[in-house]
């Protein structure tokens, strides 16, 4: 019963926030609109919400740029040969690039499915609060490298610095809320992909 309480409180916090928001304020795959200084769902007051032993987003690289390229190209990704761009965008922000690659796989199978084929976006981020180009309500970029940098910036600033969320588990609960996703499955798959990439597994 005690384990259900945090989830219940998180839902209450999310509901209260949405009452005061327009539909455009809700960002799918990007959690809630990037309002710096606003507590994240599931992390009242913006306090740290890190599960011991969780899969950390931040940290030194546990995959190489060359390995990322092999994964992307083997999957027939339109982002083939951009492995170094993804690696550099993540490392520059202190993110382990293996996490970025895992999110990329989960969100669009490396840009081979959905709107990402047109937007060149790693994370299918909604346009709320975005002044750039949009396609079907999602942020669009001129290159995969630009999309990688925007995702890494969103994660490192909004989720880590502001909301103090640092693991796959805590980030995904805000990034892909249960109202729109099977959050538990999302977390499980991203963590599984991270393990596979680190072990040299197939794309």
Render pLDDT for 133-163 as a digit per residue (tens, 0 to 9).
999 999 999 999 999 999 999 999 999 999 9
Q: What integer pLDDT is reported at residue 97 of this predicted model?
A: 97
Half-sphere exposure of 75 (CA within 13 A, CB side): 25
Domain at 4-44+54-198: CATH code: 1.10.530.10
Task: Please tell me the distance from the alpha carbon of residue 118 to that of residue 126, in angstroms, as a whole number.
Answer: 14
Q: Which two tokens stand for residue 175?
A: 């990034």
Taking only the tens place, the pLDDT of each residue in 91-125 is 999 999 999 999 999 999 999 999 999 999 999 99
The whole-model pTM stands at: 0.77
Q: What is the four-CA torsion angle of 196, 201, 202, 203, rounded to 10 degrees? A: 30
Sorted by where each begins, the domain ranges of the chain are 4-44+54-198
Q: 131 pLDDT band (50/70/90 cuts)?
A: very high
């Amino acid at each position: 019963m005690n384990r259900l309480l945090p989830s219940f409180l998180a839902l209450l916090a999310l509901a209260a926030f949405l009452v005061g928001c327009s539909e455009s304020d809700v960002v799918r795959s990007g959690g809630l609109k990037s309002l710096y200084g606003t507590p994240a769902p599931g992390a009242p007051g913006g306090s740290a919400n890190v599960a011991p032993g969780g899969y950390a987003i931040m940290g030194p690289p546990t995959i190489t740029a060359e390995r990322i390229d092999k994964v992307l190209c083997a999957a027939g990704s339109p982002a083939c040969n951009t492995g170094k761009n993804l690696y550099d965008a993540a490392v520059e922000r202190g993110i382990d690039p293996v996490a970025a690659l895992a999110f990329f796989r989960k969100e669009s199978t490396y840009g081979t499915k959905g709107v990402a084929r047109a937007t060149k976006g790693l994370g299918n981020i909604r346009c709320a609060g975005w002044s750039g180009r949009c396609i079907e309500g999602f942020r669009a970029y001129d290159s995969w490298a630009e999309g990688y940098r925007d995702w890494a910036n969103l994660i490192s600033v909004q989720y880590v610095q502001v909301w103090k969320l640092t693991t796959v588990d805590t980030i995904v609960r805000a990034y892909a809320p249960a109202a729109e996703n099977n959050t538990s499955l999302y977390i499980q798959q991203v963590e599984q992909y991270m393990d596979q990439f680190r072990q040299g597994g197939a794309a």
